[in-house]
DNA sequence: CTGTTAGCGCTTTCAC
DNA sequence: GTGAAAGCGCTAACAG
């Protein structure tokens, strides 16, 4: 590194025979300073390529213009979409985003929070790990005066503003659509019992069945733990080979639905005629797979933007910190995997 | 925000009737300080939950322990994998990563670089946009004393250390595999002519054909611009309907290969028997799609780790800044889409 | 309109 | 072993 010593205000002041404070004010076009001095200083600064020392400014102002963002997994279509939205929103307001991942491990999440704090972000956006409950590490951040906003995977035990997807409504819409299409025996491959999003989706599923007076068989609810393709495949097998096989399967996420599709294709079950399949998240793969997978879009990009803007508004004191919860509505994306009866759509 | 005033060294010093410098040194177990003072200070700090003011430390040391990372696109399997690797590697060495994206737009990349500089990262990892050529904005960073490392999408006009994938070798191995499988007329749907990675892959393709004395027809080379599924679909159509249809297609990336597969399935061309299809990048979808898509794995996670470690080594002065280029070898992942002749594998 | 001064919190040299 | 003091670069209150 050439490490060309950087020009400071002091240098400018000395060079122009003015004081440091005058130079500082001139660069900000402070009203006290004469037009001429301002011009002179700015010209000099421009010419010598003066860049204020950000570290010093941050220190002085006690602000970094960095916000932290922690997700369970980075290589994940939904989360990377959220990150993308958050970064773009932050960029517009001259904030940078420090990204970290917990790998769904509490220990890693705690470390990430600590490093964030140490490298002094002004605030934090977090989607918690499956293992997080009380979130002492998050409360610590808040106590240190760093505002925190939770998004997507949240804990109600941690009192912060929240941006979430309306999972209940998404599931309700999805299952209602299956019913509209004429499916009568709808199964649900759900997520873990301790995870809020999974519970909300399951609740939406149940409610839709109830509201429409459809049969419900507890055997139709399967609980994933890893939430991967293999589980989808295995549960599809279990469901189809059970005593009371369903005629549609609503899956906690697209990846699981993919496993279901795979099993059905192997068994040559016609989709959507004899079995409807519906996913959640509307990943790229839902569009790509064959037949196209109907899914619930969670608007991840918008979620990222919203959470970032919320945080920045708080940081800029545009807005008081109230622990509101913002629910983002989902969109049902209908594709071939549930279009048994296209006319009804 | 409650903004509980933070404990400073001065507070500790006053409380314990020692000087600030002693307190500072004690916390670092400086050899000059007596065991007892060290114990006392540490105990007090622990008890009162002292956290050093990172801003002040950074300012003093002229170092932030943040590194910047700019990619063309965040919602992209390969890049998010790289980011994941970089973040995890950085975390191990107590660095944080500031992530930004250029959307493949030069203007956005310049802005990102500027904001990075302003929020004072210690160094930068960058994969440039398709529009970047001279990279004045990157040179500026280097002049400001911030080391930069280019990865994946690089420009030889910008003199920095680089971490890249051995695209030539990857393509060469891929095409050689097709030849081994008995394919004789191998087409290539390639990327843009101005993009280095695309050229390297095309070079590998050509070389493999030459080395094995296979036919080459210029009609077999199609140039993508958007590099998406639709282009794959369209070019597959063109190729199959051409005068001299190929019996295998090597695609610049998995997404394009997916379009090819789609067309072939529609036309009921048996894969791999009558047409081999090979992708590049080994995205999740290659594994998921049916039939499984053979692809070239670029080891994105390792690339991210490598680039981050390289940068941090420079920042920590463990290593001189030499503008070496590190080439990561690819792995050919063979799946059903090219397994015409499994015995040979 | 401009300069002087103090200080942000921490590290580090130098002196005792 | 410990303390005093200077200073990193910038901002801002206060004084003229």
**pLDDT digits over A11-50, tens only?**
999 999 999 999 999 999 999 999 999 999 999 999 998 9
Spanning CA of A29 to C1' of D12, the rounded length in angstroms is 15
Interface test with B, best of A2, A54, A101, A142 (most B CBs within 10 A): A54
Eight-class DSSP state of B94: T
Cβ-Cβ contacts under 8 Å, A101 against chain B: 84, 87-88
Instruction: Give domain B167-298's CATH architecture.
Output: 3-Layer(aba) Sandwich (3.40)
Q: How far apart are the C-alpha atoms of A198 and A183, rounded to whole Å?
A: 22
Q: Enumerate residues 6+ apart whose C-beta is below 8 A from A77.
A: A281, A283, A284, A285, A300, B75
Report the percentage of chain A scoring pLDDT > 70.
98
Amino acid B5: pLDDT = 64
Amino acid A1: pLDDT = 39
Interface test with A, best of B48, B54, B139 (most A CBs within 10 A): B54
Place of tokens 């079995």: A275
Tokens standing for residue A293: 């997978």
Confidence of residue B116 (pLDDT cuts 50, 70, 90): confident
Amino acid A247: pLDDT = 97
Amino acid A4: pLDDT = 55
Over the stretch B251-294, which tens digit does the pLDDT of each residue have?
Answer: 999 999 999 999 999 999 999 999 999 999 999 889 888 899 99
Q: Which residues put CB within 7 Å of chain C, the nucleic strand?
A: A 17-22, 25-26, 30, 32-37, 59-60; B 6, 8-10, 20-21, 24-25, 27-28, 52-53, 56-57, 59-61
Spanning CA of A14 to C1' of C1, the rounded length in angstroms is 18
Residue A320 scores a pLDDT above 90: no
Q: Where are the domains of chain B?
A: 9-52, 65-165+300-328, 167-298
Is B4 close to A98, i.e. CB distance below 8 A?
no
Amino acid A189: pLDDT = 98
Residue B208 scores a pLDDT above 50: yes
Residue B47 scores a pLDDT above 70: yes
Tokens standing for residue B152: 């994946």
Confidence of residue B140 (pLDDT cuts 50, 70, 90): confident
Residue A35 CB neighbour total at 10 angstroms: 8
Residue B320 scores a pLDDT above 80: no
Mean pLDDT of chain B: 93
Report the percentage of chain B scoring pLDDT > 70.
98
Question: CATH assignment of B65-165+300-328?
Answer: 3.40.50.2300
Confidence of residue A2 (pLDDT cuts 50, 70, 90): very low
The two beta strands, B96-101 and A96-101, are antiparallel
Q: Which residue is nearest to nucleotide C5 (CA to C1')?
A: A21
DSSP element (H, E) containing A310 = helix A300-315
Confidence of residue A321 (pLDDT cuts 50, 70, 90): confident
Amino acid A177: pLDDT = 98
Amino acid A91: pLDDT = 92
For chain A, the straight-line distance linking the first and the last C-alpha, in angstroms and rounded, comes to 64
Nearest CA-CA partner of A157 in A168, A167, A142 = A142
Spanning CA of B122 to C1' of D8, the rounded length in angstroms is 17
Over the stretch B228-238, which tens digit does the pLDDT of each residue have?
Answer: 999 999 999 99
- Predicted model pTM: 0.91
Q: Which stretches of chain B are DSSP H helices?
A: 9-16, 20-27, 35-47, 54-61, 77-92, 106-118, 136-143, 167-180, 196-211, 229-241, 254-266, 284-288, 300-315
Query: Which DSSP string corresponds to A125-157?
Result: EE---TT-SS-HHHHHHHHTT--EEEESS--TT
Q: How far apart are the C-alpha atoms of A186 and A247, rounded to whole Å?
A: 6
Average confidence (pLDDT) over B58-64: 90
Over the stretch A154-196, which tens digit does the pLDDT of each residue have?
Answer: 999 999 999 999 999 999 999 999 999 999 999 999 999 988 9
């Amino acid at each position: 590194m050439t490490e060309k010593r950087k020009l400071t205000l002091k240098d400018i002041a000395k060079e122009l025979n003015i004081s440091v404070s005058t130079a500082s004010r001139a660069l900000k076009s402070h009203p006290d300073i004469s037009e001429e001095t301002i011009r002179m200083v700015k010209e000099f600064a421009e010419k010598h390529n003066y860049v204020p020392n950000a570290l010093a400014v941050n220190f002085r102002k006690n602000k970094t213009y960095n916000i932290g963002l922690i997700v369970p997994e980075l290589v994940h279509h939904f989360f990377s979409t959220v990150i993308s939205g958050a970064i773009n929103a932050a960029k517009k307001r001259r904030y940078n985003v420090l990204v970290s991942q917990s790998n769904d491990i509490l220990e890693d999440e705690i470390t990430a929070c600590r490093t964030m704090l140490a490298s002094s972000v002004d605030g934090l956006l977090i989607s918690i790990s499956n293992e997080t409950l009380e979130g002492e590490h998050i409360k610590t951040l808040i106590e240190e005066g760093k505002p925190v906003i939770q998004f997507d995977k949240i804990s109600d035990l941690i009192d912060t503003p929240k941006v979430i997807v309306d999972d209940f409504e998404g599931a309700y819409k999805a299952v209602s659509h299956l019913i509209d299409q004429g499916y009568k025996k709808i199964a649900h491959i759900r997520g873990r019992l301790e995870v809020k999003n999974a519970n909300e989706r399951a609740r939406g599923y149940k409610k839709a069945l109830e509201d429409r007076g459809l049969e419900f068989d507890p055997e139709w609810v399967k609980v994933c733990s890893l939430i991967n393709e293999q589980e989808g495949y295995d549960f599809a097998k279990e469901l189809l080979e059970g005593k009371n096989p369903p005629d549609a399967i609503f899956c906690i996420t697209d990846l699981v639905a993919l496993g279901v599709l795979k099993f059905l294709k192997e068994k040559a079950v016609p989709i959507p005629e004899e079995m409807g399949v519906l996913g959640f998240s509307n990943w790229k793969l839902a569009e790509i797979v064959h037949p196209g997978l109907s899914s619930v879009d969670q608007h991840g990009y918008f979620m990222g933007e919203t959470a970032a803007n919320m945080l920045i508004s708080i940081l800029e004191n545009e807005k008081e910190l109230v622990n509101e919860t913002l629910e983002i509505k989902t969109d049902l994306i209908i594709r071939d995997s549930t279009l048994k009866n296209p006319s009804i759509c």
